Structure formats: C-alpha cells, structure tokens
Amino acid sequence: MAQAPDGRKIPDDGGPAKAVRPVKRISERDDVTDSPAGEISRVGVVGCGQMGAGIAEVCARSGLDVKVAETTGEALEFGRTRLFNSLSKAAERGKITEAERDETLARLSFTTDLGEFADRDLVIEAVVENEQVKTEIFQVLDQVVTRPDAILASNTSSIPLVKLAVATSRPDQVVGIHFFNPAPVQNLVELIPALTTSEGTLARAQLFAEKALGKHAIRAQDRSGFVVNALLIPYLLSAIRMFESGMASREDIDNGMEMGCAHPMGPLKLSDLIGLDTVASVAFSMYEEYKEPLYAAPPLLQRMVDAGRLGRKSGSGFYTYA
C-alpha cells in the first residue's frame, strides 16, 4: 500500500510471497550497459502485496535500486518481511547465495511517502485491481515524479491503460508492464501501449523487461485482459461453474486438467493462487468491456469473495491452506 502526499491511503494487492529462482544481475550482462534500458537504474514500486513484492524482488535481484511504497509502518514492515522471507527461502534452497540475498536486500528501500519517488526512472504501480484506485495513484505520481523522461507503468491485468494515461500530464510516457505470479519465476511479461503511448516509451519498456530483467516480452493491444487473461479467465470461470453446478468435485476438475492436459496446476488451485478477488475483479473488467457471457463471474465466485475466502492469501478458497 502507498500514501499520497495528501495522506490518501492506497491499498495493495495482498497475498503471500513465493520462493524463487535466481535472476541474473544487470551488472553481469554486458549486452545491457550500452542500451537505453541501461538508463533505468532507479525503480519505484507502488504496493508490496503478492505482485508488488515479486516485481520489487525481480528488479533488485537484477541489480537495480528499488524503492517500495506502502501506506503505513505496519504495511511497510509486512512488505519488508515478505521480501526477506522470499529471498531467504531462495537462499535455503540454493537458488541464490546468502551473499546475493544480502546484496539484493541492500538494494531495496521502503517508504510511506510517494514524494520519495521524485528521482525514479521508472515507477511500476502494483496495487489492487481497481480503476479508481489506480487512477488516483497515477495522478499523484504525475505530480511527484520529476524526471522528464520517467516512465509510469501499471501492472494491471485488465484495466484499459488509456484511462490511466489520460489521468496524467504525460500520457505518452504511460505503459502497461504486466508481470505474472510469482514474478521472479514466471518468465513472461505483457507490454501494453495505450493509444497515447509513444514508440520511444514502448521501446524502453521492452528493453527494460528483456535486457535488464531477462524476461520474455510480448505486446498486446490495450483491450481488457490483453493476451493471457483473455484466454485464461474464461477457462477459470468455466471450471468454477462446473464445480458450482455439481458436475464434478474440485479434485476431479483439477486432476482432469493436470493429468489430462498436462497443466502444472488445475484451474481451481490456480484461482486460489491468483486470488479469488483478483479473478473476480478481472472478470468484471472484461465483462464490462466485451459484454460476453463467458466473462461473467459465477455467483459462487462473488459469494466466496464476499465471505473473505480469497484463496491462498486468506487461508481458504476452493481449498484450505495451513
């Protein structure tokens, strides 16, 4: 969570952190130093929930100076602990050394004041999937980020980028950089230009994702859901409808896709991992745009969200987690 200069509180995306594999540091990549992506050395991340923490970790492990914004001291400490635990687990599993863990932690700093993002080359917003909240963040970032060439990016998975871009005085420098969960493990990012995004901004964002972070970037049009969620969300909703109707048990639905289609995780387990509130929010945004029944959230999904059964991050969803 983050706090604007006027004291407004901005909720983050919530959820647990995951252990990750090593990410090669930018200093170890000779092909990056002379590229435009090399100009991006100071990154700001708004929100240290499930996605925000992962994005911050990816950037810090790539050798970048990373500042993370949260709203309160309590949220700040929770985010710091989340990152420490994730990096420590990676070290315990031999994915990184303890020295690399400590070096990564040293590149991370935390704040409750978005005004400290003034010198950032790139700011990535990673808070709750809510258009009003994200719009307010972009309005604040537009005021406080002083570098004239700074990129303002959103990790949104479904909200039209143009709506965030026009909330600023620099719509040509706003772009979508959509990471996947857990961000340090998943190799893909989606790059989404708004109608207002300049080619220069998009090119810098792609070089940053591919060269600085070592990700594989694909480009998508600014349509709700982009590429991956436009395919994924209807699949997840279909599985929820199947379970809701009593057609099959949760175990049989998940085992069917894991064993029958070689998916690493069944759709109900995956929904729990993503967060049922996030699945519902993305489905709502996509239904609002396309008005197609396959994007409509099943009643069971909304009831579970209303009951606080959000999946792994709340301890229960379609499954119960210790």
What amino acid positions are annotated as catalytic residues? Answer: 157, 178, 190, 229
Q: Residue 129 in contact with residue 279, Cβ under 8 Å?
A: no
Residue 14 φ/ψ region, left for φ over 0, alpha for ψ in the -120 to 50 degree band, beta for the rest: left
Peptide bond into 148 cis (omega under 30): no
Interacting residues of 183 by C-beta distance below 8 A, sequence separation 6+ = 51, 54, 55, 57, 58
For 254, half-sphere exposure in the C-beta direction (CA atoms, 13 angstrom radius) is 14
Degrees to nearest 5, angle at CA 255 with 253 and 258: 110
Q: Report which residue type is found at 44.
A: G
